[in-house]
Structure 1
């Protein structure tokens, strides 16, 4: 059924056509001019109504497309923090930021306790250092107070500590083979708390040769973008 505005426009169009038709058998110029003017106006209104309808259809199509994109983005974000390690994990969102820490939106009510590994799809984020009923605090791996057992591709082990926005790696063997681009992973803690083994930490970007030193040091860039953390996984070993 046509809407009332549509019926009015059709009626105006019919009347204007009738008035123009009078031109064939009447000398009434005012009526002819009125008919032409009315027809032109009506045609413009019909065209405008058509454009509005087309625009509304395009707007609805764009809204459907945006909704689909948002749903796809949410799915990607939720799966991006999934871990492939043999542990159970709880997803969480970062809801607060402070120097060296983030706050996540799950807590003891969800089974979170202190000294649990926190990571995302890129690598290690840090460990839980405080847990409340609904939120928890995560100390980032770049915190200078952090000390993380690490392993390099040669199998040599050492420790990782915070060094501004980077990490400082100290290998126990000063003669260990180490090169720029080497991958550094977690060594793992007793009972897998606070760190489970095998989590990617970062990439060696600079080796600092120190002949005669008891350890070998290098700078490591974290894999995870710690200043833009969003979705993370808390590992329950």
Structure 2
């Protein structure tokens, strides 16, 4: 219906409604009959007026929903690109070959921990025991590979133990999920640090991966987390502590798989340089110079 026609109908409707109101207020005996006639006349007009705007409103609402969906998808893609740029620009990937990936599925183990599926596989150069990282640090390791996807055991899963170095001194230790019989109460999602050599960790110490041969399953120097609490000294030889992981396992999205680079040539050897020593002769000499 055209806007001009709709305005004329609104004027007619308002006039008839006003006439019915005045008739009721005046107590006119024919008001009931006028009301019934008005209903017959105004009913189709009201339906015509209400029908068109309702259809238009429904169309506008549907378009609004579509535009919001498109905007949300575009924002999600921008967020992913931002996280990918952050990953590629982080120190985690410096000097390493990286296969970017996105988490497409997740599974929580009844025994504790989490595994995720990423959208890259053997066709992309991914192989089992590859290190998986995010911009903030270690995610976990690849446990199974198919042509197009790979399964990743996330840091802190049941049975996972990672060799690490702690603090500026690089003290040797391991991190693992809290055990059922752990004497200390640890926050959800935290890790248990166990020293390998006698040493006392300090709150705030950064924990990094020790590294493995050919960088499998864990490349060296990847941030695992930060020491947040040190367990009381109960006379044990080594001290344990609580570590907060560098990544949020509940919000893993864009990750990178580090492609291991096997050493193809022998490592060059070096020998320390020795300096010749000069022996000094003391005491009298015999003979005269000629």
Instruction: State TM-score, norm by structure 1.
Output: 0.71
Contact 1:149 1:157 in 2 (8 A): no
Unaligned runs of 5+ in 1: 1-5, 21-29
Count of aligned residue pairs for this structure pair: 221
1:89 to 2:99 alignment: yes
Separation in structure 1 between the aligned mates of residue 157 and residue 247 of structure 2, nearest angstrom: 14
User: 1:112 offset after TM fit, Å?
Assistant: 0.7
Alignment of 1:124-163 (within 5 A): 124-163=138-177
For 2:216, the equivalent position in structure 1 comes to 193
Separation in structure 2 between the aligned mates of residue 166 and residue 31 of structure 1, nearest angstrom: 79
Let me know the Cα RMSD of the aligned residues: 3.8
Unaligned runs of 5+ in 2: 17-32, 179-188, 261-290
Separation in structure 2 between the aligned mates of residue 35 and residue 103 of structure 1, nearest angstrom: 68
User: 1:213 offset after TM fit, Å?
Assistant: 3.9
Contact 1:108 1:132 in 2 (8 A): yes
Change beyond 3 A, Cα 1:203–1:48: same
The structure in which a higher percent of residues are strand is 1
**Aligned mate of 2:229, from 196, 206, 211:** 206
Could you list the per-position Cα deviations for residues 136-190 of structure 1 after superposition, in whole angstroms to 9, with x for gaps in the alignment?
A: 23223224543323233323232333224532223345344x3334332223333
Largest Rg, 1 or 2: 2
1:167 to 2:209 alignment: no
For 2:256, the equivalent position in structure 1 comes to 233
Secondary structure of the structure 2 residue equivalent to 1:106? coil
Separation in structure 1 between the aligned mates of residue 35 and residue 251 of structure 2, nearest angstrom: 71
For 1:69, the equivalent position in structure 2 comes to 72
Which 10-residue stretch deviates more, 166-175 or 103-112? 166-175
For 1:27, the equivalent position in structure 2 comes to none
User: 1:108 offset after TM fit, Å?
Assistant: 1.0
Contact 1:158 1:169 in 2 (8 A): no
Contact 2:163 2:175 in 1 (8 A): no
Secondary structure of the structure 1 residue equivalent to 2:128? coil
Separation in structure 1 between the aligned mates of residue 157 and residue 80 of structure 2, nearest angstrom: 26
User: 1:62 offset after TM fit, Å?
Assistant: 3.4
**Aligned mate of 1:38, from 41, 47, 60:** 41
Secondary structure of the structure 2 residue equivalent to 1:185? strand
Change beyond 3 A, Cα 1:10–1:39: farther
For 2:271, the equivalent position in structure 1 comes to none
Contact 1:104 1:137 in 2 (8 A): yes
For 2:118, the equivalent position in structure 1 comes to 104
User: 1:122 offset after TM fit, Å?
Assistant: 4.1
1:80 to 2:83 alignment: yes
Secondary structure of the structure 2 residue equivalent to 1:75? helix
Separation in structure 2 between the aligned mates of residue 129 and residue 208 of structure 1, nearest angstrom: 32
Separation in structure 2 between the aligned mates of residue 181 and residue 221 of structure 1, nearest angstrom: 10
